[in-house]
Amino acid sequence: MRDRGGHQSALIAGGGIGGLASALAISRAGGWDVRLFEKAPEFSEVGAGIQLGPNVTKVLHGWGLASALAEVAAFPEKLQVCSAITGELLGELPLGQTIAARYGAPYATVHRADLHGVLLDAVHQTDTRLHTDRALQGFSQTPQAVSAQTADALDVEGDVLIGADGLWSAVRQQLLGDGAPRRTGHLAYRTLMKQSDLPEALRSNNVTAWLGPRMHIVQYPVRGGDWLNVVALLEGEVTDGTDPWDHEANAADVSAATAGACAPLQDLVATLQGWRVWQLCDRQPMQGAWQQALGRVALLGDAAHPMLPYLAQGAGMAIEDAAELGHVLAVARDPAFEVPTMLQRYALNRWQRNRLVQARALRNARIFHASGLLRWGRDLSMKLLGEKLLDMPWLYGAAPKAGNF
Q: Mean pLDDT over residues 277-288, rounded?
A: 95
For residues 237-259, give the mean pLDDT.
74
Mean pLDDT of the chain: 93
| pLDDT surpassing 70 at residue 11 | yes
More confident residue, 400 or 166: 166
pLDDT band at 364 (very low <50, low <70, confident <90, very high): very high
Question: What 3-state class would DSSP assign to 233?
Answer: strand
Calculate mean pLDDT across residues 381-405: 78
| pLDDT number for residue 46 | 74
> With bands split at pLDDT 50, 70 and 90, how would you rate the model's confidence at 319?
very high
Query: What is the C-alpha separation between 174 and 297, in angstroms, rounded?
Result: 10
pLDDT higher for 267 or 47?
267
Annotation says 107 is catalytic:
no
Taking residues 279-294, what's their average pLDDT? 96
Residue of 41, 18, 67, 11 lying closest to 323 (CA atoms): 18
Q: How confident is the model at residue 401 (pLDDT cuts 50, 70, 90)?
A: very low
Q: Taking 90 as the threshold, does the pLDDT of residue 31 lie above it?
A: yes
Q: How many CB atoms lie within 10 A of CB 38?
A: 24
Predicted pLDDT of residue 6: 66
pLDDT surpasses 90 at 241:
no
3-state secondary structure of 384: helix
Query: Strand 32-37 vs strand 8-13: parallel, antiparallel, or unpaired?
Result: parallel
Which class for 335: exposed (0-12), middle (13-18), buried (19 or more C-beta within 10 A)?
exposed
332-352 confidence digits (pLDDT tens): 999 889 999 999 999 999 999
- Domains of the chain with CATH codes: 8-76+107-180+283-365 (3.50.50.60)
d(CA 115, CA 111): 6
Residues 292-303 have a mean pLDDT of 98
In the predicted model, is pLDDT for residue 152 greater than 90?
no
Q: For a pLDDT cut of 90, what percent of the chain falls above it?
A: 86
Among 43-57, 210-224, 336-350, the minimum mean pLDDT is found in: 43-57
| Whether the Cβ atoms of residue 184 and residue 176 lie closer than 8 Å to each other | no
Please tell me which residue in 220, 310, 346, 396 is annotated as part of the active site: 220
Half-sphere exposure at residue 188, Cβ-oriented, CA atoms within 13 angstroms: 23
The rounded distance, in Å, linking the Cα atoms of 358 and 53 is: 16
In whole angstroms, give the CA distance from residue 69 to residue 83: 32
Residue 308, phi then psi, degrees to nearest 5:
-65, 155
Question: Residue 356 belongs to what H/E stretch?
Answer: helix 339-368
Q: How confident is the model at residue 182 (pLDDT cuts 50, 70, 90)?
A: very high
Average pLDDT (47-53) is: 92
pLDDT at res. 385: 95
Q: Can you name the residues that pair with 282 across neighbouring β-strands?
A: 182
Q: Of the candidates 12, 20, 16, which has an alpha carbon nearest to the alpha carbon of residue 36?
A: 12
403 pLDDT more than 50: no
Confidence of residue 404 (pLDDT cuts 50, 70, 90): very low
Q: Are 219 and 229 in contact (CB under 8 A)?
A: yes
pLDDT in tens, 55-82: 999 999 999 999 999 999 999 999 999 9
Those residues with Cβ within 8 angstroms of residue 159's Cβ, 6 or more apart along the chain or in another chain: 1, 2, 8, 9, 10, 145, 146, 296, 339
Interval 39-49 mean pLDDT: 84
In percent, the amount of the chain with pLDDT more than 70 equals 94
